[in-house]
Amino acid sequence: MAEAGDTAPLPQEMDIPKELRRRLERIAAAKVEIEERARGRFEKEQAEYEQRLARRKAKEERTGKKPGGRPPQPPSGGPQSKDQVNLTDEDSRIMPSCGGFEQSYNAQAGVDEATHLIVERHISQQSNDKQEVIPTLEGLQPLPEALGKVDKLLADTGYFSNANVRACEAQGIEPYIPEGRQEHNLPLAERFTDDAPAPQAPTAPEAMRHRLKTREGKALYSRRKSTVETVFGIIKHVQGLRQFLLRGRDAVAGEWNLVCIGWDLRRLHALDS
């Protein structure tokens, strides 16, 4: 079959120079996209660098001592050697997965703990889940009053940042986002000890840390695994969504919306029966 393919004449309708021009134009556009992404990354890293410098300076003025550790290094501009654009789907991004790194999107879903209905969903190009709390909060705002009010948010440690905790508090939502992995199988004595007293005038992150250490907080946070993890598990293994079939962020977002609507219809049928 290979020999036959090599010796067979090319289709008459194939215009090789035209196809080469198309590919060269696509590569040129990809180079421009890489430069634009590098510019955006530099602006973001430069802002973070300046914020770190400002915090070090404020600490030095407050304590009268020079901060320890290495000072932050300024970011470097321009494209890096590993920057690339996927010519098949330029909206996708390289993200870590169980099999290494893949060209992917980050699919997010907010799930109601009582009904397991998906009440918020979106597609992101960010590989770091820390960037997804604020978009989730924005997606929860348009929910109709008939569904009730969101009063708590449970998320795993990958979503933690002080900014995310403060963003939840600003919207009247009590966050439960641990800074690190939760310990399992605690010693018996620790399981039945009284809760530590709440800190006086705590910041939002400090208040959340205390909540997560209380019996009530631990019991509440333990529901996360049986809520959103269950939904993602069934969507992947029962409904069979192992990868998106469409290309482009808008098309993938539409596909994800359709999957989530299908899940909610199944749940509504189960809840009504």
pLDDT for position 18: 83
Is 80 exceeded by the pLDDT of residue 170? yes
pLDDT for position 186: 67
**Residues 137 and 173: beta-carbon distance below 8 Å:** yes
pLDDT digits (tens, 9 = 90+) for 93-137: 989 888 788 889 999 999 999 999 999 999 999 999 999 999 999
- CA dist 124 and 106 (Å) reads 5
Q: Strand, coil or helix: what is 110? A: strand
pLDDT for position 39: 92
Q: Identify which has the larger pLDDT, 161 or 191.
A: 161
pLDDT digits (tens, 9 = 90+) for 125-156: 999 999 999 999 999 999 988 888 899 999 99
Distances in Å between the alpha carbon of 82 and those of 112, 172, 208? 40, 41, 38
Whole-prediction pTM value?
0.75
Is 80 exceeded by the pLDDT of residue 57? yes
Q: Which two tokens stand for residue 101?
A: 């790194």
Would you say the C-alpha torsion 25, 27, 28, 32 has a positive or negative sign? Answer: positive
- CA dist 33 and 206 (Å) reads 42
- CA dist 119 and 64 (Å) reads 50
pLDDT digits (tens, 9 = 90+) for 9-48: 877 776 778 888 888 888 898 899 899 999 998 998 999 8
Q: Which of 60-64, 68-72, 190-194, 257-261 has the lowest mean pLDDT?
A: 190-194
Alpha carbon 70 to its chain's center: 30
pLDDT for position 267: 95
**Residues 135 and 122: beta-carbon distance below 8 Å:** yes
pLDDT digits (tens, 9 = 90+) for 190-249: 666 778 888 888 899 999 999 998 989 988 998 998 999 999 999 999 999 999 999 999
Protein fold of 101-272: Nucleotidyltransferase; domain 5 (3.30.420)
pLDDT for position 59: 85
Q: Which residue ranges make up each domain of the chain?
A: 14-64, 101-272
User: Alpha helices, DSSP H only, in 75-203?
Assistant: 133-140, 162-170, 188-191
pLDDT for position 255: 97
- CA dist 93 and 36 (Å) reads 15
**Residues 264 and 118: beta-carbon distance below 8 Å:** yes
Q: How confident is the model at residue 184 (pLDDT cuts 50, 70, 90)?
A: low
